[in-house]
Each structure stands twice: as C-alpha cells, then as structure tokens.
Amino acid sequence: MQTITLPFQVTIAQELMTITYLGNGHAQVLGLIDVSQRCHFSLDGQNVICIGELGQLVIQAPEHTDAAVLLDCIVSVVTSHKKSEQRRVVKETRRKTRRAYIAMAGLTLAMGALAVAVKSEFSGSRVYTGLGNASYQGSTAMPAPSIAQALPPTLKTTPPAAPLALTPPLPQERPDVPDELADSPTDGWTLPDAARKDLSANLRMAAERKLFTVEYSSGHARTLYVFADPECPNCQRMEPALEAAAKDFNVIVFPVAVIGGERSIASITPVLCLPPEQRKAAWSELFDVGHGVMDLGKPKESKESAAVEPGDCDIAGKALGVNEVAYQTYRIPGTPWAIADDGRHVTQAVLQNPRSLQTFMSAAEVSHAAQ
C-alpha cells in the first residue's frame, strides 16, 4: 500500500485507489478508482479527470483547496504503485526464469542419457570405457538433439503483445423514443446526453465491483440503475415498482444519503457491510411500512447486519461516500433517480407502469437494431 497526505490522502490497496480529503476535522471520500484499468489523469479547473477504458470519472477538489496538489498526489501514488508492481513482476520473472533454466538443464541431461541409450541399442561392437561400464561404438553417430528440439512446447517463449492504446469511447447518438416516453425537458437533469452515455458505462463498471450497490435481480438482458435514499418518501413509494421491474430487468440500486443525512448513513452502512447476496433482504427491511416509526433517531439495523463486525464496515462507509460523489458529479437532481443502461433517464411515471417501462426499454433495442 502506498500513501501520501497533503491535505489529501491517496491510498492503493488491492488495485483500488481511495482518494480522501482530510480537511474540516473529518475525512471525506472524494472517489474510488480501479487502478488495474488503464487510466489517464488531467486537470480541468477544480476537477481532476480520470479518463479510463470505459469512460471518464470526475473527482472534484473541495473549495479552498488546490486541485493541482490533488492531481500531484494521485499521480505520485499511482507512479509509485506501478514501480512497485514492476519490481514485483521482475522478481517473479526472474524466479520463473531460474525454474526454466533448471528444467532446461534437467531436460538436456535426460536427452543426453536418451541419446546414449539409443546408441547402445542400435550401434555395433562392444567396447569398454575403462570406467567399468560397457558401451557400444557404432559406425554412424546419432546427432545430438538441439536445445529447440529438446524443449517441450510449454517452455518455448513468445514475445508479449504490444499494449493496447487507450481510446476514449466515442459518443453515440441518442436513440429516438416516443415523445411520451422521452426525457422531459423539465426533469431537472442538466447532464448532457454524451455524458449520460459515459455515466451508464461507469455505473456498469461500478456495479461489477459489488462494493457500492444493492442488487435486486440479475441475468436479464437490460439493466436499470437507481439512486435511492431509504429516508426519501418517493423512494418508499417507488419501491413496489422497482420490485416489479426486477422481474424483467436487472435492477441495481446505488444507495445515497442525500435526504436523510445521518439517519440514512446509519441505515445504509450496515447494509453495504453485508456480502452482496445478503444486501437485498436487509435493504428491503428499510422499506417496510411503518419501519422506523418506533425508532426515530436511532440507527437502523437488519438482523443480518447486526452480526457484521465494525471493522468490516470501513469499505462500506467509503463506498457510500463514493456514491454521493457520483450523485453530485453527474448532477442527479433528486431521488429516486432511475437510469437505463443506455443512459436515458427513466421517469417515475414510466417506472410505475410495467407496459410503459417495457415500451421505453424496447424503443432503445429497436433503435440500436436499425443502426
């Protein structure tokens, strides 16, 4: 693990880079980045832009801080991490090379012994070597095997392929959909269409990490991503619609604490502490009718989450912080906010009508097929 603080803390553990701001007397997670992916960093005003294979991620430096310092911290830690990885790879390569040399030497000796055995079997007169061992000397000698002939195919090496160049994904045209199903111009989402395409790719990549999400269903052809807060009244009202949608689509929820503040944090963190397959049941408990009426102001815990050790929840708190950074970065205007896997906003009216939702999602499929 590499660490630099100034006043930002940038750490890398298990290929996951955590960027934290340490000002104002508390730690604020600014972002999480998978450094196993190829990524290029640049500066844009108060933002540090990470351009990766699946799109770009914006990390906003807090007010009254120097974004250039944040960029320097990130680049320094990434560079140090890469050097450490290179040293590890070199050591591993040397170790494997030594093993290959030993195997080659043993194989060469074995082939030499085999050549002697063959000559003994097929040559002519018997002679004595003077060492007490009998051998045969023939009129024609067999050629000794070459190294290339002696080596089995598994020990022959091939040059590594050249690294792929990073090419940011090209923006695609937004598919045409019926007017009654298209984004309303007054929905309050100011994110440009091209950025929405990048957002859907980033959400898919984040969902695959299974650190930040509650998965309602999987195995379907299409996916709905939803930002939701358990303290949000509209989220409570839309929960049955999401349960119904999960029968036909993958429904992935990114929990945020933008409505309930500390109460939402107390509810969400134990849920994200759980293994991915247990989160849905614990999350659903937060949406039971009357849940929390007798426990206003108290932390909410499910039966499963109560068994989780406090130390296991550190990554859950960071994951929740990253969800809120994404919520702000992508200008999400409120909760619940549903996004189709092609980047289009799915209104609450469409979500509540199964037929309208099917038509909405099918419109993108038809458009892509026509293209």
> What CATH number corresponds to the domain at position 277?
3.40.30.10
Residue 172 in any domain: the answer is no
User: Cα separation of 135 and 210, whole Å?
Assistant: 69
Res 131: pLDDT = 38
**Neighbouring C-beta atoms of residue 304, cutoff 10 Å:** 17
Statement to judge: residues 216 and 361 lie in one domain: yes
Res 349: pLDDT = 94
**Neighbouring C-beta atoms of residue 59, cutoff 10 Å:** 22
Res 155: pLDDT = 38
Which of 61, 84, 118 terminates a domain? The answer is 118
Statement to judge: residues 19 and 108 lie in one domain: yes
Which of 64, 92, 118 terminates a domain? The answer is 118
By the 8 A CB rule, do 107 and 114 touch?
A: no
- What is the domain extent for residue 240? 193-370
Residue 141 in any domain: the answer is no
Residue 336 in any domain: the answer is yes
Statement to judge: residues 199 and 327 lie in one domain: yes
Look up residue 103 and give its two tokens: 């195997």
Statement to judge: residues 235 and 98 lie in one domain: no
Residue 54 in any domain: the answer is yes
Residue 187 in any domain: the answer is no
Question: Which residues, 6+ apart, have CB-to-CB distance to 52 below 8 Å?
Answer: 33, 37, 38, 39, 40, 166
Short-list 275, 318, 219, CA closest to 18? 318
Residue matched to tokens 């790879």:
89
Res 288: pLDDT = 75
Statement to judge: residues 222 and 342 lie in one domain: yes
By the 8 A CB rule, do 76 and 4 touch?
A: yes
> What CATH number corresponds to the domain at position 18?
2.30.29
Statement to judge: residues 212 and 359 lie in one domain: yes
Which of 66, 86, 118 terminates a domain? The answer is 118
Per-residue pLDDT of the chain (371 residues; tens, 9 = 90+): 554 446 888 888 878 888 988 877 778 888 888 877 778 888 888 889 888 766 778 888 888 888 888 888 898 888 888 888 888 888 887 777 777 667 666 555 555 555 554 444 444 444 333 333 433 333 344 444 443 443 344 334 444 444 433 334 444 444 444 443 444 445 678 888 778 877 888 899 999 999 999 999 999 999 999 999 999 999 999 999 999 999 999 999 999 999 999 999 999 999 999 999 999 999 999 987 554 433 444 454 444 444 444 445 888 888 999 999 989 888 999 999 999 999 999 999 999 999 999 999 988 655 544 44
Statement to judge: residues 199 and 61 lie in one domain: no
- The secondary structure of 14-47 as a DSSP string is TTEEEEEE--TTS-EEEEEEETTS-EEEEEETTE
Statement to judge: residues 347 and 233 lie in one domain: yes
Residue 184 in any domain: the answer is no
Number of domains in the chain: 2
Residue matched to tokens 């091209």:
194
Residue 144 in any domain: the answer is no
Res 28: pLDDT = 82
Statement to judge: residues 203 and 343 lie in one domain: yes
Res 172: pLDDT = 42
Residue 182 in any domain: the answer is no
Statement to judge: residues 103 and 238 lie in one domain: no
Residue 170: HSE in the Cβ half-sphere, 13 Å Cα cutoff: 2
Pairing of strands 134-137, 223-228: unpaired
> What amino acid occupies position 325?
V
Statement to judge: residues 229 and 361 lie in one domain: yes
Question: Which residues, 6+ apart, have CB-to-CB distance to 237 below 8 Å?
Answer: none
User: Cα separation of 33 and 202, whole Å?
Assistant: 11
